[in-house]
Structure 1
Amino acid sequence: MLLSSQQPASLNRYQRLARKTIEHARTSVLIPVFWRLYGAQHVQNRLATLQSLPPGTLGRGVADLLGRHHLQLIPHYENHDLKHVLLGYDMTPEDELKLKAFMFGNGDCSITCLGFLALALLTPELWPELRAHYRRGRRTLPVLRWSLQALADRNLEALRAEIGFYEAQRV
């Protein structure tokens, strides 16, 4: 996550505010809702299991990403986190929007996806990039129903090849 002090200096005041709004929607609204709905069902044990997987696996990638950002595993949200790793998106406001654009193109019409994409109205400078990520999602095999529990021990590069990830980026 980029904190306000870490945002690129090239952003104007409005762009910085838009990114803070996007980050706030995730950290102060969406994540607490998931905690309240699903609780902390054995998350420490599950995170330790992911951390014990070999480097290059999807699960280890998720554990490493969460660790870099000082985040915890959240029940029912870990499938979103796997998409960050699988698709190569970081956890910045810009990459959250790119991920949602990709997922919308990949068939995700959920209220969460559409709600986050509505926040893209605040970032017109990103619209061309978001359109490109939407197209990538359309050209990639569906990953909406993928679960971390089922795929944690799978090789990340093999999974990317399986969905046509690299081919979708070249077009």
Structure 2
Amino acid sequence: MNFASCSKAWTIGDLSKCQPMGLNVDTWLVIITAIFIPASIFLVKYFKGKINSSSTCRIPYKFFGSRFRGLCRKIKPLTDDNYRIFSSFGPNGGHTERSPKVVRTELDVWYGLRSKIVENNHIIKNLINENWDIIPKRHIISFRRWLNHIDAFQAHVTMGRADYRENQFPSEVVEIIKRHA
């Protein structure tokens, strides 16, 4: 039976007369159900957990993990440079695991180099903001804390005595960047 016959059967309300490819409506219903139900189950399982609490779709990490890796590779040299400056010249930076914490009193070099950290942080902040959609959900809080630290440190440097103790550098981002770079 052809399409015109099925259209006529639909119009008169008797689908038993519509038998495309020699199969009746009940058989087609079984075939469509056999395809639709497993496909629906697959889609639900696949996308389960892919939507965050604000009902916007987060891109699955397994698809764009390489993009996050690329972001980390861009950020890592900047964080390495910041660490080098802070550990070599910062007020609390002169300690190692073997030696006790050293507080430096001669900070002229540190005051001169803080602007380089602010410059690196500005680049890091732009990279994070431009690539926010590829940051894995499990790292979002750490990256928000990092952005808060960047803003607070910049205010501390530009305003002199601005207190940023509540926005210290989130040390876990070092491991995140290292692991993915």
Q: TM-score when scaled to structure 2?
A: 0.28
By relative contact order (CA 8 Å, sep 6+), the higher-ranking structure is 1
Q: Which has the larger radius of gyration?
A: 2
Q: TM-score when scaled to structure 1?
A: 0.29
